[in-house]
Structure 1
Amino acid sequence: MKLFVTFSLVFFMCFCANVKETEIITLLQNWEGHEITFHDNHVFTILGKDTIAFPFQDGYKILTYVDSVGCIGCKLQLTEWKEYIMEMDSLFDNSIQFLFFFSPEKKVDIIRALLLSHFDYPVCIDEQDSLNKLNDFPTEMAFHTFLLDKSNKIIAIGNPIHNPKIKELYLKIIQGGEVKPDNRKLIVQTEVSVDKYTISLGHFDWQEKQKASFVLKNIGKSLLVIQDVNASCGCTEVTYSKEPIQPGGSVVLDVSYKAETPGSFNKTITVYCNANSSPIVLRITGNADGC
């Protein structure tokens, strides 16, 4: 199964809002069937303490790479990965191997995140960023996770933790199911307006939880159904009504943010729905001040 054929069927559902469609198509064409290269001396560790032997399996692998740019904790999403690994292990009897390559600016940041999340799956703390240097990964974080076949060739790109459609796609490929043409056009679409795409929370004490609200209005002629809402960081929570929204109606997304440490932040909330503009990317920014 070719990457471009597989992924182009669903890329409208998952691409980063900062990337143009033509750029995505070019990227997919360049990475179609590309074989990921690994060093023989990659070292894996558990909780940043003990190094272990971690031979690569011959079956499907899910590789995720995290660079040092931005909030490491937001990118890792370790709790969500733990749940996903457990789910896949139960479905495929531990036959899917997960390859985590983290390239932090400071190793201690990764170790702290591993300990806080009790993430005891083997990871490679790649301080020299050697995997990226070998393969020259795309710059966009949305394209730093890959489904590999037994030959380490890419058969799909996208993060199943951040995007339920990618999760669904990976599952279908691994199960050997047919990836059919994009059925978005068969789903009744509607139109959505957003009261604001970015909310600044200004300056506040980093120990105080902050709240904000986004309003999505159904300005189309069909029901609006929110399929999923993903926050870019575990420190951001979103609540909303799961009921379909009638034409002319609105839904409020209540966002709460609790900083883990002082500092400025820029967090995204991605809304997946049956709107032509989906996914809708919302953003909260601000400065969590220390003492």
Structure 2
Amino acid sequence: MKHFYLLLILFCFFSCKENKKNNIIQLIQEWKNKEILFPNHLVFTVLGEDTVNFSFSNTQYRVLSYMDSIGCTSCKLQLSQWKNFISEVDSLTGPKTAFVFYFSPKNVDELHYIIRREAFKYPVCFDMNDSLNKLNHFPADIDFQTFLLDKNNEVIAIGNPIRNPKIKELYMKILLGRETVSKNEITILETEVSLNNTSLPLGNFSWEKEQKVVFTMKNTGNNTLVIDAVATSCGCTKVEYDKEPVRPGGSVDLHVSYKAEHPEHFNKTITVYCNAKVSPLLLKIMGNAE
């Protein structure tokens, strides 16, 4: 029954086309209870410099996060949010949960720089041969390259708690011993929303100049609109908004700011998790920081 609830909860967290839903269900079924295999003789370091004797064999749970070499490293890591999540878990569960980071970067110098810049003082394995992935064949989707494991390294839940607040909620339920929930607990009063834009081009501008745009969400349904969280695909994109519930007929502005770290052509995604029937909502900004 427990595994049924985990599958049901995860299914409820993704509102998407039928084919994608089926793919997610198949993926969850494939990884449920699967044992993760770890390579021998890999080294963990802190801040990319000091080697540490890191072991998680005596912990009850392990949160395993893998990062491949595809795409923007800084966008994928979001280390500041990981620090907040680790601190929250440690304060609530104590030492029974370990966080295990395996990174297979295309540019190790860039990864060293990001880790030092973010003062990320947790053990990290630089898996240059991608040994962990070769043993386990992880999903290609970054949203499913993070796993919650039990003491036998078997998968209890799959999903990135940094990129999806509902996955974070699920992880916390499990870690706190409340992984089976009643149907009433997952009943959500949904509403409908409309957006003035879903994609905003910022054009060409100096990479040193911060850019700001506004997306407006209007509650066009019959129930109160509640935004659970807003996630960005990169730390260079920030979003501010009024966190008060929005009554039917009302609206809320999402103030998005983008500050490039270097010249680049960019296409960034803002994901809005809320009680809209079409949640999560995907917004995009794009342009050329010269």
Cα distance in structure 2, aligned partners of 1:248 and 1:120:
46
| Distance change in 2, residues 1:266/1:15 (3 Å) | farther
Which amino acid letter does the alignment assign opposite residue 170 of structure 1?
Answer: Y
Q: Deviations over 1:197-250 (max 9, x none)?
A: 221212211100011111111111121111211122221111112222222222
Which amino acid letter does the alignment assign opposite residue 245 of structure 1?
Answer: V
Cα distance in structure 2, aligned partners of 1:240 and 1:99:
33
Using the TM superposition, give the Cα deviation of residue 174 of structure 1 relative to its aligned residue in structure 2, in angstroms: 1.4
Q: Which residue of structure 2 aligns with residue 75 of structure 1?
A: 76
Cα distance in structure 1, aligned partners of 2:145 and 2:215:
29
Cα distance in structure 2, aligned partners of 1:265 and 1:4:
40
Q: Secondary structure at the match of 2:135?
A: helix
Cα distance in structure 2, aligned partners of 1:267 and 1:12:
25
| Distance change in 2, residues 1:17/1:79 (3 Å) | farther
- Taking the TM superposition and a 5 Å limit, the aligned residue runs for 1:69-218 are 69-181=70-182, 183=184, 186-218=187-219
Q: Which residue of structure 1 aligns with residue 20 of structure 2?
A: 20
Name stretches of at least 5 consecutive residues in structure 1 with no aligned partner.
Answer: none
Cα distance in structure 2, aligned partners of 1:161 and 1:169:
12
Cα distance in structure 2, aligned partners of 1:149 and 1:221:
42
Q: Which residue of structure 2 aligns with residue 36 of structure 1?
A: 36
Cα contact 1:88–1:94 (8 A) shared by 2:
no
**Could you say what the CA RMSD is over the residues aligned between the two structures, in angstroms?**
2.0
Using the TM superposition, give the Cα deviation of residue 8 of structure 1 relative to its aligned residue in structure 2, in angstroms: 3.1
| Distance change in 2, residues 1:99/1:60 (3 Å) | same
Using the TM superposition, give the Cα deviation of residue 25 of structure 1 relative to its aligned residue in structure 2, in angstroms: 0.8
| Distance change in 2, residues 1:135/1:274 (3 Å) | same
Which amino acid letter does the alignment assign opposite residue 249 of structure 2?
Answer: G
Q: Which residue of structure 1 aligns with residue 48 of structure 2?
A: 48
Which amino acid letter does the alignment assign opposite residue 22 of structure 1?
Answer: N
Using the TM superposition, give the Cα deviation of residue 263 of structure 1 relative to its aligned residue in structure 2, in angstroms: 0.9
Q: Secondary structure at the match of 1:151?
A: coil
Cα contact 1:2–1:33 (8 A) shared by 2:
no
| Distance change in 2, residues 1:57/1:178 (3 Å) | same
Using the TM superposition, give the Cα deviation of residue 285 of structure 1 relative to its aligned residue in structure 2, in angstroms: 1.4
- Paired residue total: 289
Which amino acid letter does the alignment assign opposite residue 218 of structure 1?
Answer: N
Cα distance in structure 1, aligned partners of 2:276 and 2:49:
47
Q: Which residue of structure 2 aligns with residue 242 of structure 1?
A: 243
Cα contact 2:67–2:102 (8 A) shared by 1:
yes
Using the TM superposition, give the Cα deviation of residue 113 of structure 1 relative to its aligned residue in structure 2, in angstroms: 0.5
Cα contact 2:196–2:215 (8 A) shared by 1:
yes
Which amino acid letter does the alignment assign opposite residue 155 of structure 1?
Answer: I
Q: Secondary structure at the match of 1:165?
A: helix
| Distance change in 2, residues 1:16/1:157 (3 Å) | farther
Which amino acid letter does the alignment assign opposite residue 51 of structure 1?
Answer: T
Cα contact 2:2–2:180 (8 A) shared by 1:
no
More off after superposition, 183-192 vs 29-38: 183-192
Cα contact 1:3–1:31 (8 A) shared by 2:
no
Cα contact 1:45–1:124 (8 A) shared by 2:
yes
Cα contact 1:197–1:281 (8 A) shared by 2:
yes
- Give the alignment's TM-score, normalised by structure 1: 0.93
Using the TM superposition, give the Cα deviation of residue 164 of structure 1 relative to its aligned residue in structure 2, in angstroms: 1.9
Q: Secondary structure at the match of 2:96?
A: coil
Q: Deviations over 1:84-132 (max 9, x none)?
A: 1112112122221000011110110110001000111100011111111
Q: Deviations over 1:249-289 (max 9, x none)?
A: 22111100001111112211111111111111111111211
Q: Deviations over 1:148-195 (max 9, x none)?
A: 000000000111122221111111111211422555873221111122
Q: Secondary structure at the match of 2:138?
A: coil
Q: Deviations over 1:52-88 (max 9, x none)?
A: 2212223200000111111111111111111211121
Which amino acid letter does the alignment assign opposite residue 124 of structure 2?
Answer: V
Name stretches of at least 5 consecutive residues in structure 2 with no aligned partner.
Answer: none
Identity of aligned residues (%): 52
Cα contact 1:43–1:51 (8 A) shared by 2:
yes
Cα distance in structure 1, aligned partners of 2:270 and 2:112:
26
Cα contact 2:9–2:186 (8 A) shared by 1:
no
- Give the alignment's TM-score, normalised by structure 2: 0.93
Cα distance in structure 1, aligned partners of 2:151 and 2:158:
16
